[in-house]
Amino acid sequence: MKIITSCSARPLSGKVFVPGDKSISHRALLVSALSAGETCISGLLESDDVMVTIRAIQALGSPVCRENNGVWRVFGSGLGALKEPRDILDMGNSGTAARLLFGILATHSITATLTGDNSLRARPMERIMSPLRKFGANFLGAERGSLPLTIVGAASSVPIEYKLPIASAQVKSAILLAALNTPGKTVVIEPIPSRDHTERLLRHFGVEIDVEEISSGGRYISVVGERELKGNDIRVPADISSAAFLIVAALLVPGSTLHLPQVGFNPLRIGLVETLRDMGAKILEYDSADINGEPVMDISLEATPLVGVEVPIERASSMIDEYPILAVAAACASGTTVMRGISELRLKESDRISAMTRGLRVCGVKVREAQDSLTVYGTGESPRGGATIDAENDHRVAMAFLVLGMVSQEPITVTGAETIKTSFPKFVDEMNALGADLRI
């Protein structure tokens, strides 16, 4: 077990190249494996979560290698050409890898068993299984709808139309990936737009995909299947979800100024930035660019006093991974911050609502939780801190409390911090280089 203690930080200053976007890294590898020919991926996140995806596509017959310059090469054999794995596929802690891979396997006539660590085996899979059964796939395994599960792919899949009961980029993406090896047009209707990395990436690979806005505010997404994908080079932008910890740390530690180049600024992923600006944050963006269909920005920021806000409920899907670090910002702000419509947080690597509630309370912060909301009562003063926090197998909980320790009156110790390497392997080194005092 890795234990890290976070003490008061000096002003954070410098330029940080945030690691590659985890969501895009998974998708880039999976789509490359389905493409005919070679794909070169630069900026790939080299974390535990992404490594399980690499091992999975290798087990399915797609060779993958890393060049000395950090570029990853994937040699795809095309749609319908995956090989049946010889062994169980261990997806580690990655729910994204497991759910998206189920989507691909659902319409290939092979049988595969997926498992994961204790945290992943506790996470629900029925939301993925339900639409994939409509393609013709079958699932064998735990009655409660969790890993380990064996999927028997459809020998002859059929296109579907599926309305998502809740906004979920993972469920949407699994359906779209299943549609690629299915004849005809498959349609996904989402009530609230969720991150659209899969749609952008499929378009980059030449897939015929249409996205229409509907009157209710959602989207109607259609894909025509059984069209060959051709290998196409990809550059993965910096991950806005990882950048979030640097952004909030710089806003909270007095005297800080940071510059973050080439951060992914997908409009369906920047809810935290919008919320922090509502709280008074000084966040500047410039040098916009487009990388394989994804908008990117350079970001600069400086320490700013924050005020509590009520976060618009419709913003939840665009910042669902950032609520733990937002709760830390709220704990240091003046006034009350209310976060509603966040019940999805209870189904992540941990129950993040409860994990943040417990942790903030022992650090001296007044907090109130409900089934789908979290309210933090900030005083504008540094929280007491002086606590030991169990990360609960959750990288975002671990990093959130390490950031809080940088500004709390007494150090905060996080146990189980090894989970940070699932998304931000060099978090401690990067933070310490900027002026933090994180001690392993």
What residues are labeled active site?
321
Mean pLDDT, to the nearest integer, of 300-329?
96
Burial class of residue 140 in the structure, from the number of CB atoms within 10 Å of its CB (0-12 exposed, 13-18 middle, 19+ buried): exposed
Confidence class of residue 212 from pLDDT cuts 50, 70 and 90? very high
397-433 tens-digit pLDDT: 999 999 999 999 999 999 999 999 999 999 999 999 9
Rounded Cα–Cα distance for residues 289 and 299 (Å): 12
- Looking at residue 339, its amino acid is M
HSE-CB at 415 with a 13 A cutoff on CA atoms is 7
Residue 144 has pLDDT above 80, yes or no: no
Q: How many helices (H) and strands (E) does the chain have?
A: 13, 24
Please report the pLDDT score of residue 439 as a whole number. Answer: 97
Average pLDDT score over the chain? 96
d(CA 70, CA 257): 29
CB 421 within 8 A of CB 22: no
Largest CA distance in the chain: 62
> Which tokens hold the place of 80?
């319908």
Give bridge partners of residue 59 from the DSSP assignment.
none
Residues in the chain: 440
Domains annotated on the chain, with CATH: 3-19+237-439 (3.65.10.10), 22-235 (3.65.10.10)
pTM confidence score: 0.95
Task: Please answer whether residues 303 and 283 qualify as being in contact, where contact means their C-beta atoms are separated by less than 8 angstroms.
Answer: no
CA distances (Å), 230 to each of 31, 126, 233, 259, 414, in order?
Answer: 10, 32, 10, 36, 45
Instruction: Tell whether the model's pLDDT for residue 437 goes beyond 90.
Output: yes
pLDDT band at 347 (very low <50, low <70, confident <90, very high): confident
DSSP assignment of 107-131, as one string? TSS-EEEEE--HHHHTS--HHHHHH
How does DSSP classify residue 12? P
The mean pLDDT of 351-367, rounded to a whole number, is 97
At residue 219, does pLDDT exceed 80?
Answer: yes
Mean pLDDT of 155-172: 95
Residue 103, classed as helix, strand or coil, is helix
Contact by Cβ (8 Å): 6, 410: no
pLDDT beyond 90 at 142: no
Predicted local distance difference test score (pLDDT) of residue 145: 86
Poorest-pLDDT segment among 33-37, 71-75, 344-348, 375-379: 344-348
Q: Which of 201, 286, 200, 271 is nearest to 241 (CA)?
A: 271
Peptide bond before residue 183 is cis, with ω within 30 degrees of 0: no
Question: Does residue 217 carry a pLDDT above 90?
Answer: no
Q: Where are the alpha helices (DSSP H) in 116-252?
A: 118-121, 126-135, 169-179, 197-204, 240-252
pLDDT above 90 for 19: yes
CB 47 within 8 A of CB 238: no
Q: Is the pLDDT of residue 382 over 90?
A: yes
76 pLDDT tier (thresholds 50, 70, 90): very high
Q: Please tell me the predicted confidence (pLDDT) of residue 49.
A: 95
